[in-house]
Each structure stands twice: as structure tokens, then as C-alpha cells.
Amino acid sequence: MAGGTLDHKCPNCDAVLKFNPHGQNWVCEYCQSKFTREEIDAQEAKKGHVLNEETEADKLEKDAEGMDVYSCPNCGAQIVADENTSATFCVYCRSTAILKNKLVGKFNPAYVIPFQKTKEDAIEAFKKIGKGRPFMPKLFSSKQNIEDMKGVYIPFWLYDFGVSGALEADAKRISSWTSGNYRYTKTDTYRAYREGNMTFHKIPVDGSTRFNDDMMNSIEPFDYAGLQTFTHAYLSGFLAEKYDVDSDAARKGAEVRAKNTATSMLQESIHGYDAVSVLKADHNLELLKNEYVLLPVWMLNIQYQGKIYMFAMNGQTGKLIGDIPIDKKKVAIWWIGITLLLFGILTVIWLIGGLL
Ligand SMILES: [Zn+2]
Ligand SMILES: [Zn+2]
């Protein structure tokens, strides 16, 4: 694409630059030249895309330029990729009937945690899960399937809240002693009040309804110290899901989490009692910041007997979760083998017994 904004090309040879998770830099696929974030930004600026000289409208329009969006009519996923990275199937439902279009509108995450684990790291981790599982269906060790491992940036919302909270609780001190034949228990109850101002930073809420919450919980936490200002160059070689839970809808979840945490913080500040039970908690929340970010996840979906089994790895920390079924046929063969072996042993014992 002539004059495109998002084709990050090697200044030496014009080949495509790909983000390299281990080096946290960009590498030319052809001449192996390496480029830092600063150099990528400088290259962008040289192309005339100095953002602060542009109007907001220019910025949004340019954002979408050169980006493709793959829509899955089967599950509704919308996957964004740059023009050098293509999707041939849906990363969620594995449907191959996906529609490719030019992305229109904005795709403007504020921050991204870049991948730190490579595809090879993810494949290695997946193979390890399979080791020691003799009943794993063949599909799960087939090289062709494993190569379908995809690096996907999952959309998230991060919220900062200022909370002024108040809490009322019953605090109990319980003592007991024995005197003669009797055992006494004395409970002193105190009414405790606590007030406090707290600030919560970066409470995450999933912006994708397709990426299973339980799976996300299993591969969390992400280290938000690793957040980088977003540039489209991070997408080279990766896919990104477009959020389908908007900021207002996601906010409710973050508010509940902030309130619950505020309650437990105030409750924990009541020391020196045997039991504390909260009677009332009132919190006023003020939204300080709300940011759209992308978090890196390696994903592999394998369809087996009509069900989709999903493997996911935190692309930053390597924490993983995987669901691998048991091949019932393999189990049956194993049982037949064991039964025949036992039968054989019993026959031998019987024969030896008969000889004695
Ligand atoms: Zn090059
Ligand atoms: Zn799909």
C-alpha cells in the first residue's frame, strides 16, 4: 500500500518488520536488522505522522488506514490485523468462513503490554501439558494443529477510582475460661466505625465476551508495569480482538471490585478483635481514569468430537491453562491390553498351580 501508515517496513531493504517478543524490538524478516521502539517512532514521525500536528479527526482516520478486520459470522468475533498478518480462521470458534474487510473507524488502544513470549515458547508449553498424558487424542499432538497457535491481543478496560468509604462493623472479643465444673465464655461487642479515602489504579475488566472469564482469571495476573504506549507496530505478526463490551458496560464490574476491596481494606483496619462483621458499608466512587488497553495471550483452539478445547498462555508471564480431553478409544485399548495381560498372568499362575 503506497503511503500507508501502518506498513512498518525495514528502512534498509523494505521488507516487513515483525515484533520480536524476546528482544522487545522489531526485526526485519529479510535482512535481520533490528529496530528499537524509538527508531520505530522516529520512522513514523518521518513519514509525516507526527501525531500532535494532526487534528483529532485526522488521527482517527489514519488509525484505521491499512488495518484489516476479520469478522466471524459464526461467533461474532472481530479480529483486527495489519495487512501483513492474515487470519484464515476464527481464533475463537475455528470457523473458516470469516469475512475480511478494511477496518473503518478507530482502533485506538491507549496502552499495550507487548508479547514477551514467542510462538515457540507457547508451543513448547503446550507440548509439555501433553507429556505424561498417554490418553491424549492424536489431534492434540499433531504438528499441523499446534502450529495454529495464535498471538492475540485481548481488549481490556483499566479503571482508576478515587473512593471515599465509610464502614460500620460489630467487633467481638471472645474470652473463655473454666472454673470448677463450668466453662464460661464472655463476648464483648464493640461498634467500630471507619472512614477512609483510597485510590485504586488499573482495575482490569475484560472487553471481550468471547474470551472466557475463567480462562482469563487462570492466566492472570498481568504486570501492568509492562504497559507501553500503543503503536500499531506492536501488531505486526499478531492479531487483536476488537472490544465488544464498551467502557460503560465494563465499568460496573470495576466499580463492584473497587467497592468490595474498599470494604475489606476498611474492615482489615479494625485490629485486635476475634471477629469483625460488617453492618454497613458506604462508598462514593469517582472515576479518575479509564483506558482501553491490549493484553497479550497465546491461544490455541482444537476441535475434538464437536467440542472446542482451548489452550491459553499469558503472553507476558507464560502462565497457562489448557483443557485436553481423553481419547476414549485409547483408554479402551489400554484396558483391553491390561485385561489380556492379567488374564495371561492368571493363566500362568493357574498352570503353575496345577503343576505343583
Ligand atoms: Zn531489512
Ligand atoms: Zn468465530
Indicate whether 305 belongs to any domain. Answer: yes
Using alpha carbons only, what angle is made at residue 158 by residues 156 and 164, rounded to the nearest 5 degrees? 150
Parent domain of 122: 17-156+206-242+295-325
On whether the CB atoms of residues 279 and 306 are closer than 8 A, the answer is no
Identify residue 97 by its one-letter amino acid code. A
Question: What distance in angstroms lies between residue 99's CA and the mean position of ligand 2's atoms?
Answer: 11
According to the model, what pLDDT value does residue 178 have?
A: 93
Domain match, 93 and 55 both: yes
The three cell numbers of residue 248 are: 460503560
Domain match, 39 and 53 both: yes
Question: What distance in angstroms lies between residue 150's CA and the mean position of ligand 1's atoms?
Answer: 24
Looking at the CA of 210, name the nearest ligand.
2
Domain match, 336 and 318 both: no
d(CA 160, CA 263): 17
Question: What distance in angstroms lies between residue 84's CA and the mean position of ligand 2's atoms?
Answer: 21
Between strands 111-112 and 275-304, the pairing is parallel
Domain match, 32 and 70 both: yes
Indicate whether 253 belongs to any domain. Answer: no
Residue 107 buriedness (CB in 10 A; 0-12 / 13-18 / 19+) = buried
Q: What is the DSSP string of 71-84?
A: E-TTT--EEEEETT
Looking at the CA of 28, name the nearest ligand.
1
Indicate whether 67 belongs to any domain. Answer: yes
Domain match, 38 and 146 both: yes
Looking at the CA of 13, name the nearest ligand.
1
Question: What distance in angstroms lies between residue 36's CA and the mean position of ligand 1's atoms?
Answer: 14
Question: What distance in angstroms lies between residue 87's CA and the mean position of ligand 1's atoms?
Answer: 24
Domain match, 222 and 348 both: no
Indicate whether 174 belongs to any domain. Answer: no
Domain match, 97 and 226 both: yes
Indicate whether 128 belongs to any domain. Answer: yes
Question: What distance in angstroms lies between residue 65's CA and the mean position of ligand 1's atoms?
Answer: 23
Give me the number of domains the chain comprises. 2
Domain match, 98 and 144 both: yes
According to the model, what pLDDT value does residue 7 have?
A: 63
Helix and strand numbers (H, E) in the chain are: 7, 14
Domain match, 229 and 353 both: no
Residue 96 buriedness (CB in 10 A; 0-12 / 13-18 / 19+) = exposed
Question: What distance in angstroms lies between residue 104's CA and the mean position of ligand 1's atoms?
Answer: 30
According to the model, what pLDDT value does residue 62 have?
A: 54
Question: What distance in angstroms lies between residue 160's CA and the mean position of ligand 1's atoms?
Answer: 41
Domain match, 117 and 217 both: yes
Closest CA to 139 of 76, 72, 77, 94: 94
Domain match, 132 and 236 both: yes
Splitting the chain (356 residues) into consecutive groups of 10 residues, what average pLDDT does each group show?
A: 57 90 93 93 73 52 73 93 87 91 85 96 90 82 88 95 96 93 94 95 90 86 94 92 91 94 94 92 95 95 88 94 79 80 80 74
d(CA 243, CA 157): 9
Looking at the CA of 209, name the nearest ligand.
2
Indicate whether 10 belongs to any domain. Answer: no
The model carries a pTM of: 0.79
According to the model, what pLDDT value does residue 57 have?
A: 52
Residues paired with 184 in a beta bridge: 177
Question: What distance in angstroms lies between residue 122's CA and the mean position of ligand 1's atoms?
Answer: 26
Indicate whether 268 belongs to any domain. Answer: no
Question: What distance in angstroms lies between residue 81's CA and the mean position of ligand 1's atoms?
Answer: 21
Q: Helix-strand-coil percent breakdown of the chain, rounded to 5? A: 30, 35, 35
Domain match, 92 and 221 both: yes
Indicate whether 228 belongs to any domain. Answer: yes
According to the model, what pLDDT value does residue 294 have?
A: 96
Protein residues placing their CB within 5 Å of the ion ligand 2: 72, 74-75, 77, 90, 92-93, 95
Looking at the CA of 16, name the nearest ligand.
1
According to the model, what pLDDT value does residue 1 have?
A: 36
According to the model, what pLDDT value does residue 31 have?
A: 93
End-to-end CA distance of the chain: 89
According to the model, what pLDDT value does residue 340 have?
A: 80
According to the model, what pLDDT value does residue 64 have?
A: 62
